[in-house]
A and B are shown apart, each in its own frame.
Chain A
Amino acid sequence: MKISISRIIIFSFVIFSLFVFWKGLKIDNNYNTKSLIGKRISNFQLIKIDNDNQYISEENLQKNRHTLINFFASWCAPCRTEHKYLLNLSNENKEIQIIGINFKDKKDNAVKFLEELGNPYNFVGKDPGGKISILFGIYGIPESILVNSDLTIIKKIVGPIDQIQYDQILQLIQ
């Protein structure tokens, strides 16, 4: 076989791709978000839904002992069911900060949603493209993440918050 540069490039490319595939097999499933627990949040910045000039970042999270980050959208039916738990949480626990991340939604719909059901959030940030949510390993909403002041994720809830999850959150923030 003649050896030429183009052939070497082709072979190396193939070997590289196959190697990546092989490594990919061993990687923990993309969306297994359980592994997030115990990890620290970094590069966190969230722009306010109705004002592009206001945002919060890590320093804000560090000020509070606990922050619950909740991912929601107006088009998401299960988000409505968990809403009353979020309201309870914000009414009865002044120490916990609740941040809402509005996932792939329109601003007007989100505002209407909160007017209709009440607003449990200290801050509502926007994520129209879903990029921030990917950072948190969110693949469906609702999902919620409980973070302490070290920015470490201590709990992750996939799906709507129910009574059991609610009690667990209360226990964790005691």
Chain B
Amino acid sequence: MLSNIGIGLIASTLILSFLIIYIAILNLKISRQVIEKNIYKLSLFQTTFTVLSFFVLIIGFISSDFSLINVYENSHTTKPLFYKIAGTWGNHEGSLLLWVNILVIFSYLFLVFSHAHDKKFRLYTLIFQNILILGFLFFLLLNSNPFNSIYPIPLEGLGLNPILQDPALAVHPPLLYVGFVGCSIYFSAAMASLLSDYGGKLFAQSIKNWVKISWCFQTLGIIVGSIWAYYELGWGGFWFWDPVENASLLPWFAITALMHSLIVLEKRDTLYAWVIILCLSTFILSVTGTFLVRSGILNSVHTFASDPSRGLYILFFLSLMIFSALTIFFLKYKKKSYNLNLKSKETFILANNWFMAFFLITVLTGMLYPIFLDVLTNVKISVGPPFFNIVIIPLVVPFMFLMGIGPKFGWIKSKNKILNKFFFVILGAIAINLFIFYFFGKYSLLSNLIFIAAIFLILHSLLDIKKFINNKNKNELPRIISHLGFGLLVFFIGINHQFSFEEDFNLKVGEIKKTNKYQINFKNIEIKDTKNYKAVIGVFKLENLKNNLVQYLNPEIRIYSNPETLTYEAAIKTKITSDLYLTMSNVSRSEYYNIKFQDKPFMIWIWISSIMIAFGGFTRLTFKKNED
């Protein structure tokens, strides 16, 4: 039943996409400056049908309708309702349907909200967006149909992977998809802009809100994924330079560069070609990331059951996208010379872009090199954190200095006077760094530089806040929040990295382990039985030897039944100044447990500052048009 309804809705969407493209092409030839009413209607229908199809799938999951293969493979009657729903996008087919949904919804919203802009530009955008929609709809129908049915109908499902049964992970994919798939709309808009010669300030205005929206969601999505890894994977780390994390960073670097250079295009009407390149590459990088992850070329926690035919289709579509983008770009590209003054805001924004490009290329190289090497020479290597840390971290130092200084400069040209202030702020930053260095511990020269640069950026942002309180210039606020967030993030990551404490040991019930600061007493083991899993819970009494504070930590080993899997839940005690992190794993046929204990300073501040970065973007979104 649901299978037929779902396929019916998808097929209708497909037909509507063809119709929209057809009518839009006809409409292009008419000289009237209005878009035909029918196109709006068709787009609205298209949106309704896709959204409905997604709800049909959700209903399938809620009602545990195992006649759908997708539900059978990824759900189970005993799952809590929340995870039944989240299971809808916790698998390849369902997430692809979500992907199509976002393409379609953004297409409609762009059509509605861009009425102030040129008709030809809007129609071309709509056509390109619908070509993208068609591409993914065919993929969905031919290769990854979430509505495929199974007969005889199984009585019970196979269940959702337990590590995905986590609140953070239920919201992580939708956030990222809005972020990554949202980029599609300015990919289409950039192509349309080239074809309809609708460039410059007006083009910047037409896409800037979409860029901001997708930037905010990407940022938030990446943060949530990182938080999940910290809580769920049980290593106590929050960023692993895992290929899939890298895949999510690539479009993020491109979109962050885009968001900044778009301001230059809007205010100064230069950098048009560069903005177009960034628009195109952001979505191309999103799809490349999807290809690498879904095809199984990269292995990670994100790999769904991999299937080469899936990869082949995405690769085909990706090639089509890249070649048409390149061709149209080269056909329409006109060389323009830029006259940028060294001491102007636009120069600094361009500097930001160069840094972003550098980070992007570094991560891309680290990610692709092992694949290239494997394919061409059959040598397997892994590029890990040392590479990324060595190449990226030193560059963060000048990057943060420029981030502090840049916004102080005016458009076109500035006086030398403002440079004097920087001198005092640097002195302040060096003084604070010396204070930390002297009282809390020694660290390397590079760490010193990182701290100085981070404190420099923080101090600058704080001075900006002071200025903001005086003059209430709202435009500056989002930038201040995000830049302050970034400064704090680097600062706290630095502190966390320098002053973390970690110890590994084996313990059995009743035993006590002393570290330099804590005494860990393994008091007891408790068994908990819930509907979804059984858990072995350790009771650990933790005594701080310095101030005699006693705390209890309860790490769990969970045994999920459907599918049968073990997961290790870390016990985390979060305080304002530090996180205590304890995981235990069983040592089979032994009464000993393997314990990993970590004391991680300022963890919560890493999350707070990274959320601040995203929050800055969200505040910008709340501004009304005329205030922008």
Contacts and interface: CB of A to CB of B under 8 A. Distances in A.
Interface of A: 1-2, 7, 10-11, 14, 17-18, 20-27, 29-31, 74-75, 77-78, 80-81, 109, 130, 134-135, 137, 160
A109 B504 CA distance: 9
Interface string B367-380: 01001101110001
B525 interface: no
A25 B295 CA distance: 7
Interface string B292-325: 1001110100000010100110010011001100
27 contacts: A1-B331, A11-B326, A14-B322, A17-B368, A18-B318, A20-B372, A20-B376, A21-B291, A21-B297, A21-B315, A23-B375, A24-B295, A24-B371, A24-B374, A25-B297, A25-B311, A26-B308, A27-B374, A29-B306, A75-B594, A77-B587, A80-B588, A81-B587, A81-B588, A134-B380, A134-B381, A134-B382
Nearest to A84: B589
B327 interface: yes
Contact of B312 (A14, A25, A109): A25
Interface of B: 291-292, 295-297, 299, 306, 308, 311-312, 315, 318-319, 322-323, 326-327, 330-331, 368, 371-372, 374-376, 380-382, 504, 585-590, 592, 594, 596
Nearest to A117: B590
Contacts of B295: 21, 24-25
A20 to B, nearest CB: 5
Contacts of B311: 21, 25
Highest count of chain B CB atoms <10 Å: which of A10, A17, A75, A77:
A77
Contacts of B585: 77
Main secondary structure of the interface of A (DSSP, over half): helix
B319 A20 contact: no
Contacts of B331: 1
Contacts of A23: 375
Contacts of A78: 588
Nearest to B378: A27
B380 A30 contact: yes
B322 A81 contact: no
A57 B444 CA distance: 38
A31 to B, nearest CB: 6
Given A7-B330, A10-B326, A21-B297, A27 B586 contact: no
Given A24-B374, A75-B594, 4 more contacts: A18-B322, A24-B371, A80-B590, A134-B380
A22 B315 contact: yes
Contact of A29 (B291, B292, B299): B299
A1 B330 contact: yes
Contacts of B296: 29
B330 A81 contact: no
Contacts of B315: 18, 21-22, 25
Contact of A137 (B312, B330, B380): B380
Contacts of B587: 77, 80-81
A77 to B, nearest CB: 5
A45 to B, nearest CB: 17
Contacts of A160: 588
A75 B372 CA distance: 33
A30 B299 contact: yes
Contact of A20 (B318, B375, B592): B375
A77 B375 contact: no
Nearest to B319: A18
Contacts of B327: 1
Highest count of chain B CB atoms <10 Å: which of A24, A74, A75:
A24
